[in-house]
Amino acid sequence: MTVTAIVDAVAAPAHTQGLGDQDSIWFKLTALQRGNEHNPMTTLMQLAERYGGVIPVNMGNQRVIFVTEPEHFKRVLVTKVDDYIKYFDGLKPIFGKSMITHDGALWQKIRMPQQPAFHPDMFAEYIPYFLTAIRSKMDLWSGLAKSGESFEMVEQTWTLAADMICKALFDRDMPFNPHVVFKCVKTYTDVMNHKQVRLKKVHSSGEFEITEEDTAKAMETWAGVPPDVFAADPREARERTLLSMIEAAVADPTIPEFDRQQAIDELKQYLWAGTETTALTLAWALYQASKNPDVAERIRREGEQVYGDREPTAADYGALAYTRAVIQETMRLYPPIWGLIRVATKADEIGGKEIKIGDRVVLFAYGTHHSAKYWEDPESFKPERFMGDAAKKRKPYTYIPFGGGKRACIGGAMSQVENTLAISILLRKFRPEYVGVEPPGINATVTLTPKGGLQFRVHELG
């Protein structure tokens, strides 16, 4: 299969499949926002405190079970993993039929040929491309520092994360406008939009901000991104990239399931799962660095000591222990995937509560990450928790930013390299100043996003 053939194969029309459908858990979860508009996570935390670690909630004709205990996470993610399948209703246009949505043998067949791209041995190869993307972001920030204008940080980090993936994993310069694409994706992943479309479907009135037509347009743009990536000129014609592995899988007759549409959808998946989460983590980390100047100073000092004035390498990444802990602590306080959703395919019992076939089970990662049962002073930002003995003593499954078991994030380790290097390098040259609402509100979209974004100004250090 040639690149051209893959591009020609793109057909899938834009659609708003599942968005705002009554049974979609994303639509139902908008009810969460009513409890505490500033941070809907607190509503679930309170429920967990009052009713224990397994909370069945009847939402219309469906049971949603919120679980918050580490041993229950282990049961669903590891011990009984095959009895709990993935849930992606309403998000198909974002992910298509990519591996993240599949289960069982098919999932394995699709993941296997791509796995080598994420082996830690590859990181040294990727780092120069991460650094190129970071440098281009620094040029942009120099301009923003000079003009003094404020900007939204998640949009900035999203474009950086997308650039890093395109350059390192696809051997392409970003062949799309990331700001436009970022907005399109948000249209779909913001749970409140699901609610608006739902209300519009029910009342068919024109008073809602977002329409199905808007989302269809957004998805059309989104669907056009992978073909643009395939069609773009390679930067260096590297032989061993994720993109070349995907192309080889399409050409491999022993895996007919890995067809042309699969290749397109894999790219969609990476451009969402690998950018949104990485970007949110970096943006929240910069927020914490702005609020805690001592943290920012320690990151700068560590960078100075470890790689000084030269470019950091893979070995330097290993030595940036404090900076890496800052990223890990950020993902504890703000897990980008705040809840992992599964559907029970067999009857089970969790924590003494009955699980019925078809129940939606939400592993409430945010709840465990913020629980005083497992973390001392849980609301404080303390990177030291992830260093030395403190890290070794941690109870398993109390920290699951990347999920767990065989379905754990394929790019988790790589994202930590990206974010550790990015924050280290950016802070050596800039002092980002958070100028938004304090504390920032939380929006429980598919990811944990700051309400209205994170508004910043940057200052260039002398």
Which residues of the chain form contacts with ligand HEM (CB under 6 A)?
Answer: 99-100, 111, 165, 269-270, 273-274, 277-278, 281, 331, 336-337, 340, 401-403, 407, 409-412, 414-415
What is 245-311 written as a DSSP string?
HHHHHHH-TT-TTS-HHHHHHHHHHHHHHTTHHHHHHHHHHHHHHHH-HHHHHHHHHHHHHHHTTS-
Q: Are 231 and 6 in contact (CB under 8 A)?
A: no
Look at residues 105, 98, 101 and name the one whose alpha carbon lies nearest to residue 246: 98
**Cβ closest to ligand HEM, residue 4 vs residue 79:** 79
Look at residues 174, 144, 169 and name the one whose alpha carbon lies nearest to residue 159: 174
**Cβ closest to ligand HEM, residue 87 vs residue 430:** 87
**Minimum CB separation from ligand HEM for residue 145, in Å?**
26
**Cβ closest to ligand HEM, residue 69 vs residue 266:** 266
Give the largest Cα separation in the chain, rounded: 63
**Cβ closest to ligand HEM, residue 100 vs residue 246:** 100
Q: Are 328 and 320 in contact (CB under 8 A)?
A: no
61 DSSP 8-state letter: T
Q: Sheet of 360-364: strands edge to edge?
A: 54-59, 62-67, 360-364, 339-344, 84-86
Q: At what angle do helices 191-203 and 212-231 cross, to 10 degrees?
A: 130
Minimal CB distance residue for ligand HEM: 411
Residue appearing with tokens 């040929």:
113
**Minimum CB separation from ligand HEM for residue 272, in Å?**
9
Look at residues 240, 239, 245 and name the one whose alpha carbon lies nearest to residue 111: 245
**Cβ closest to ligand HEM, residue 27 vs residue 270:** 270
**Minimum CB separation from ligand HEM for residue 278, in Å?**
4
**Minimum CB separation from ligand HEM for residue 416, in Å?**
7
**Minimum CB separation from ligand HEM for residue 207, in Å?**
35
Rounded-to-10 torsion of CA 310, 316, 320, 323: 60
**Cβ closest to ligand HEM, residue 145 vs residue 409:** 409
**Minimum CB separation from ligand HEM for residue 277, in Å?**
3
**Minimum CB separation from ligand HEM for residue 351, in Å?**
20
**Cβ closest to ligand HEM, residue 293 vs residue 358:** 358
Distance, CA of 412 to CA of 23 (rounded, Å) = 31
